[in-house]
Amino acid sequence: MTMVRVAIFAALFVFARVLPLAAQDVTLRSHDGDVEISGNLLGFDGEFYRLDTIYGELTVDGSGVACEGPGCPNLENYVARLVFSGAPTIGKVLMPALIEAFAIRGDYDVIRHENSDTEISYALSTRNTGDLIGEFTFRLTNTDEGFADLLANEADIAMTLREARSDELSHAKAAGLGDLTRPGRARVLALDALIPVVAASNPVQGITMAQLAQVLDGRLVNWNALGGPDAPIDLHLWDERTGIGQASVDQLLGPKGLPSTSRIRRHANGAEFEEVVARDPFALGLTTRSEQGDTWELALTGACGFALKATRRAVKTEDYPLTAPLFLYLPARRFPKLAREFLAYLRDPSAQLVIRRAGFVDQAPEEIEINAQGDRFANAIAQAGTEVGLQELQRMVQVLSPLKRLTTTFRFEPGSARLDAQSRSNVEQLARSLELGLYDARRLVFVGFSDGDGAAGPNRDIALRRAETVQRAVARAAETANLDRIAVEVDAFGEAMPMACDDTAWGRQVNRRVEVWVR
């Protein structure tokens, strides 16, 4: 009987990776004495034990067993500990603000400790008794080190400025972290954007994506090719070990592309980057919206007349193409209750306000009135091809004019039917809003758009299928929502409302999207 029940424990509670404690032998015994499990204690989260046993790695509910042995934790004075590692942009700037707000909300006292130049920690204690209940530690390294610490069991959560790469995903599976591409394993904490910047004295006001890529790979080296002075371009990027430096290359030259020019000056952080670029009239650099400082942002332009800057709404809707989400990567295991509460708080509307005040773009949905979108409809008319007739434009205005556009937009990875990282996060955000009843008794319309490559009719059909795909994904994620209370519709207008020029791959990528409109 005992062996059967232990086997059931193994089948039900085998988890992936755990943060190791100093492994010590313990014995867990059920209160009726029928079940006894011995092994090395790997961790305790205040509710569940994690053991390395002859049956494999088991996770056992602490309420049903008693722990015996020198390694057993103190159940009365348990302290939840969580280690974050990775991008300083997240750990040094954003997380402190969020922890302070979380402490105020939970009525906790919080004390900051500067452990070293690259490590800070926050101790949370109850306000009434002063008992220590949690400790969050942040290792301020870089995106690569964040993933490495996660894979080596030296951190619970990786803070990154890019998505995990294929080798990191495979290593994570091998290390028992689970599939980091599954829902819940990667969270978009906030949004940022990559922007091309120059000194304020530089006369150039815009640059195309193609020109930016040519500067990066060394084919374009003089400002006169951009309408500026006859002077060499001094190219500046973040260090190649940072997530921003890697994302700059990934987004413009592809994941395997490497700048062929040797004329790049690298910078370890945003302060150093901004100081150098702001005073060099011939500098051109790539940084993030949150780290712009005194530099001047160049608009992303196109031959058809579009010009895009990384405004807050353009980033939130992904109308601006070089978005840069801030990620938290979590292993497939259970966290202590206090840690779970903090992670849940990060999706709260009050946390989104903290994110915005910290200089980043939040993910709280906003509704944009139709009269605030005149430029989009003007572009739709100006760029309408011969196949997009007046009748279709009138139908689009008739359908959308009573509605408001949500900033929640969905786009797909290049050459793929898979939603991109920001859009996958949007699925979870919108699904949670549906579960909370925020759109009950309202009309929700998923509207598909396409690029202009090909005939208008097939493009509209493709856009409609994309809208249906997104609608189904949101419905599946909203498991507890009563969708009967919402009027959900799907429509598509194909290439009728472009957001960028169709003469480049990035422009076509921006135009392929699913928007959400509400009434």
Task: Please check whether residue 339 lies inside any domain of the structure.
Answer: no
Confidence class of residue 15 from pLDDT cuts 50, 70 and 90? very low
Torsion over CA: 455, 461, 464, 470 (sign)? negative
Choosing from 135, 154, 185, the residue where a domain stops is 185
Of the candidates 485, 332, 514, 320, the residue with the CA atom closest to the CA atom of residue 427: 514
Task: DSSP letter for 208, please.
Answer: E
Per-residue pLDDT of 421-440, as tens digits, reads: 888 889 988 998 999 899 99
Place of tokens 């994506």: 209
Q: Looking at residues 460-485, what average pLDDT do you find? A: 91
What was the pLDDT predicted at 258? Answer: 53
Contact 404, 368 (CB under 8 A): yes
Same-domain pairing of 375 and 500: yes
Task: DSSP letter for 224, please.
Answer: G
Same-domain pairing of 263 and 173: no
Q: Looking at residues 459-474, what average pLDDT do you find? A: 92
Same-domain pairing of 181 and 241: no
Q: How far apart are CA 153 and CA 20, in angstroms?
A: 7
CA 336 to chain centre: 23
Give the phi and the psi of residue 88 in degrees, each rounded to 5: -60, -30
Confidence class of residue 235 from pLDDT cuts 50, 70 and 90? very high
The yes-or-no verdict on residue 192 having pLDDT over 50 is yes
Same-domain pairing of 244 and 109: no
What was the pLDDT predicted at 55? Answer: 82
Element (H, E) at 246: helix 243-253
Which ranges of 364-414 would DSSP assign to H, the alpha helix? 374-382, 390-400
Task: Please check whether residue 88 lies inside any domain of the structure.
Answer: yes
What was the pLDDT predicted at 318? Answer: 86
Helices vs strands, H then E, count in the chain = 16, 24
Which ranges of 280-371 would DSSP assign to H, the alpha helix? 312-316, 337-345, 349-357
Per-residue pLDDT of 145-188, as tens digits, reads: 999 999 998 999 999 998 898 899 999 988 888 888 887 788 89
What was the pLDDT predicted at 101? Answer: 95
Same-domain pairing of 428 and 510: yes
Choosing from 185, 209, 241, the residue where a domain stops is 185
Q: Looking at residues 81-98, what average pLDDT do you find? A: 93
Q: What is the domain-level CATH number for residue 245?
A: 3.40.190.10
Per-residue pLDDT of 255-271, as tens digits, reads: 545 555 567 899 988 88
Q: What is the domain-level CATH number for residue 385?
A: 3.30.1330.60
The yes-or-no verdict on residue 341 having pLDDT over 60 is yes
Same-domain pairing of 436 and 372: yes
Choosing from 28, 46, 68, the residue where a domain stops is 68
Task: Please check whether residue 346 lies inside any domain of the structure.
Answer: no
What was the pLDDT predicted at 64? Answer: 86
Same-domain pairing of 371 and 513: yes
% pLDDT > 70, the chain: 90
Per-residue pLDDT of 361-398, as tens digits, reads: 998 889 988 877 766 766 666 666 666 667 777 888 88
Same-domain pairing of 165 and 198: no
Q: How far apart are CA 437 and CA 81, in angstroms?
A: 34
Task: Please check whether residue 486 lies inside any domain of the structure.
Answer: yes
Indicate the number of domains in the chain: 4
What was the pLDDT predicted at 250? Answer: 82
**How many residues comprise the chain?**
519
Confidence class of residue 23 from pLDDT cuts 50, 70 and 90? low
Task: Please check whether residue 358 lies inside any domain of the structure.
Answer: no
Region of poorest pLDDT, from 139-153, 290-304, 379-393, 478-492: 379-393
Task: Please check whether residue 86 lies inside any domain of the structure.
Answer: yes
Same-domain pairing of 303 and 246: yes
% pLDDT > 90, the chain: 45
Query: What is the extent of the structural domain holding 381?
Result: 365-518
Same-domain pairing of 253 and 180: no
Task: Please check whether residue 350 lies inside any domain of the structure.
Answer: no
Same-domain pairing of 35 and 158: no
Task: Please check whether residue 219 lies inside any domain of the structure.
Answer: yes
Same-domain pairing of 56 and 112: no
Of the candidates 119, 500, 152, 94, the residue with the CA atom closest to the CA atom of residue 327: 94
Predicted structure pTM score: 0.80
What was the pLDDT predicted at 518? Answer: 93
What was the pLDDT predicted at 392? Answer: 74
The pLDDT mean for the chain works out to: 85
What was the pLDDT predicted at 394? Answer: 80
Q: In what order do the strands lie in the sheet with 299-301?
A: 206-208, 299-301, 307-308
Q: How far apart are CA 191 and CA 312, in angstroms?
A: 9
